[in-house]
Structure formats: structure tokens, C-alpha cells
Amino acid sequence: MEKSRRILAYGILAIVILILALTGIIVAIMHIPIEGSSGDIAVIDLDGTIYSRGTEEGLFSDYQPGVEDYIEWIEDAQEDDGTKAIIIRINSPGGEAIASEKLAKAIKEASEKKVVVAYVESMAASAAYQAASSTDYIVAEKQSLVGNIGVRMEIIHYYGLMDDLGINVTTIKSGEYKDIGSPTRPMTEEEKEMLGSIVNESYDDFVSWVAENRNMTLEETYKVADGRIYSGSQAKKAGLVDMVGTEEDAIDIAAEMAGISGEPELYEYGGKSSGFLGMKFNDALYSFGYGLGKGLAETSVEETSPSYGMYF
């Protein structure tokens, strides 16, 4: 009798999982944007750290869009005949150098076809400011944080801890600099200079981009691009933003620049989801179905990351 009950319970559980998975697929289909769904102004949320690839969504974790998501939304809005202007709503501390450059170029290309306005709500620092500088006009809240223009490379070292623990590492390498940035040994001054030259080259490109898009001279830009962070009102004085204002101001500016008469209709793209527990029911089912299918289809692959990277 007990065995029969267990079999029945497992059978019911399997049916429930199957129903939820199928429901997730159906909801996923429902989530596909309908062609022509747009508004006078497209609003794209640039929220969180800028990465090349978005983070995975789980039962209790958020999905963070990657730069490819942002570029896709920008291109959709750019190609939509019903959309007259684009607003990039920014709440970001910056991110990866290469991802940031891709995003800035995509925004710049969009601004050559349609009006693009940046609205800095809480923060547009480093890479996020590079994105903002690529637009036609920047509106920032008075108490927002703007700037932090610069490049950094982080290298983690733990050879001191290894010495304390009595751990030794033997490195066999093909060339003198093959293990540059290794966390298991101190860096030489020559190696620091080599990596520093890469950082400085990237920094010069960053400054040149800002100078060109903000109609500033290189000398003017270098003076304000020393890594410091400005408030919205300070950034206005430094020439890094065009107006201190609210999101409503950004909407009004975008509508005026795009020649939109009357009350503009807004259409929002993307954003960060809040995980399974914070979702609406349909979104939760979609997440469950997607996660189940992905888990069944893929094998686990262990990934290793480099000990250093370059960030805006």
C-alpha cells in the first residue's frame, strides 16, 4: 500500500512539473513582442553593471540584461517607424570596457537616425557615462552621480597568503611574460608599465569619445576626466550634462527635439527582473519553464575567469 502511494505521489508530481513546464513555454510565446507595438518615445532602462552577457535568472535570483540585450532594444526602437525618439534611463555604475564601447557605438548610431536623450536618474558613472555622452542630450537629476571617467585594471594577488600557508607554485611557461598578472607572485615594474600602457591607451580613447560627443576640447575633457564623481548640478557646470532636471523634463526635451505634438506615448523596453519570488504569476511560470528546459538541455560546464580585467 505504501509503495502504491509513493508511486501515485511521484506520478502527480511529474504531471505538475510537466504542466508548469508547458505553461512556461506558452507564457514565453506570449512574451514575444508583437510587431508594431511601440510608442512615440521608446524608454530603455540601462540598469546595473554593464556586462557583455546577461546573468542567468533563477528561482531566487535576478536576470541582469547584457549589452547585447540593450543593443537589440536600441536597434528595435531605431527601426520602428512609430518611434520618434529614444530615452536611455540610466542607473549604472559602469562596467566592462569592451561591452561599454559596443553599447556607446550602438547609441551613437541610433542618434544619427532618431533623437536620443539620456536621463540620469541615480547614477551614470564611467561606462554608463560613456553611454550617456553618446546621446543628443543629457538630463540628470540634481543629486545624481555623474562622471567617474577613467579606466582601471584589477589584479588579485594572494601569494602572501600562500606563503603563510606554506603553499608553493611552480610555473612552466613558454615566454617571459606568459604569466603576467599571475596572482601567485609579485609583478615586476616592467610588467606594471606594460599593463599601464594598455590602461592609458583605453583611457585616451574614452576621453576622445567624450570630447567628440560633448563638443569639448581634449584639454577641457582631460580636466574633468580624472576619475572624480560629480553631482548632477556639478556635472552641468563641468559641461558633462545639458540640463539638471527630472524624467518628465527628459520626456519633454525628447518630444520637442523629435517634433512630437501633444502628449507623447511611451513604450518601455526590458529592465531587470526580480527573480521568481518577485515576479507576477505568469512571469514566474515562464521562468520555471525556461529554467527546467534549459537545465534538461544543457550539461554543467565549469568556467574559469582571468585573474585580471579592464573596466570603465
Show the domains of the chain with their CATH numbers: 1-32+280-312 (no CATH), 38-149+227-278 (3.90.226.10), 152-216 (no CATH)
**pLDDT value at residue 21:** 53
Q: Is the pLDDT of residue 53 over 90?
A: no
**Angle formed at CA 86 by CA 81 and CA 87, multiple of 5 degrees:** 160
Helices (H), the chain: 2-30, 67-79, 97-111, 127-133, 159-165, 189-213, 218-224, 232-238, 247-258, 275-278, 281-297
Q: What is the pLDDT of residues 114-127, one digit of tens each?
A: 999 999 999 999 99
C-alpha cell at 236: 552641468
What is the b/e burial string over 142-154, where b = at least 16 CB atoms within 10 angstroms of the residue's CB? Answer: eebbbbbbbbeee
Q: Is the pLDDT of residue 291 over 50?
A: no
Q: What is the mean pLDDT of residues 250-277?
A: 81
Find cell 511601440 and name the residue: 38
C-alpha cell at 281: 504569476
Q: Is the pLDDT of residue 227 over 90?
A: yes
Please state the pTM of the whole predicted model: 0.74
C-alpha cell at 13: 508530481
Q: What is the mean pLDDT of residues 191-204?
A: 94
Residue 301: pLDDT band with limits 50, 70, 90: very low
- In terms of Cβ atoms closer than 10 Å to its own Cβ (0-12, 13-18, 19+), residue 162 is middle
Residue 23 vs residue 130, higher pLDDT: 130
**Angle formed at CA 220 by CA 217 and CA 224, multiple of 5 degrees:** 135
Looking from the CA of 202 toward its CB, the CA atoms found within 13 Å total: 22
**pLDDT value at residue 7:** 60
Residue 118 vs residue 33, higher pLDDT: 118
**Which position among 113, 142, 178, 294 bears the catalytic label?**
178
- Separation between Cα atoms, residue 3 and residue 49, nearest integer Å: 52
Q: What is the mean pLDDT of residues 7-16?
A: 58
As a whole number of angstroms, the longest Cα–Cα distance in the chain is 85
C-alpha cell at 49: 553593471
Q: Is the pLDDT of residue 244 over 60?
A: yes
Catalytic (active site) residue 126: yes
**Which position among 38, 100, 111, 126 bears the catalytic label?**
126
DSSP characters for 134-153? Answer: TSSEEEE-TT-EEE----EE
Residue 21 vs residue 299, higher pLDDT: 21
Find cell 542607473 and name the residue: 91
Q: Is the pLDDT of residue 66 over 80?
A: yes
Q: What is the pLDDT of residues 163-193, one digit of tens each?
A: 889 999 998 999 999 999 899 999 999 999 9
Q: Is the pLDDT of residue 19 over 70?
A: no
Residue 39: pLDDT band with limits 50, 70, 90: confident
C-alpha cell at 255: 518630444
Residue 302 vs residue 206, higher pLDDT: 206
Find cell 559602469 and name the residue: 94
Residue 109 vs residue 303, higher pLDDT: 109
Catalytic (active site) residue 37: no
Residue 204: pLDDT band with limits 50, 70, 90: very high
Within a 10 A sphere around the Cβ of 64, how many other Cβ atoms?
Answer: 19
Q: Is the pLDDT of residue 16 over 90?
A: no
pLDDT, the chain, mean? 81
Q: Is the pLDDT of residue 112 over 50?
A: yes
- Which residues touch 179 (CB under 8 Å, ≥6 apart)? 171, 173, 185
Q: By the 8 A CB rule, do 183 and 307 touch?
A: yes
**pLDDT value at residue 297:** 35
- Separation between Cα atoms, residue 232 and residue 112, nearest integer Å: 26
Q: Is the pLDDT of residue 289 over 50?
A: no
- Separation between Cα atoms, residue 124 and residue 179, nearest integer Å: 35
What is the b/e burial string over 6-27, where b = at least 16 CB atoms within 10 angstroms of the residue's CB? Answer: eeeeeeeeeeeeeeebebbbeb
Q: By the 8 A CB rule, do 182 and 158 touch?
A: no
Q: By the 8 A CB rule, do 66 and 96 touch?
A: no
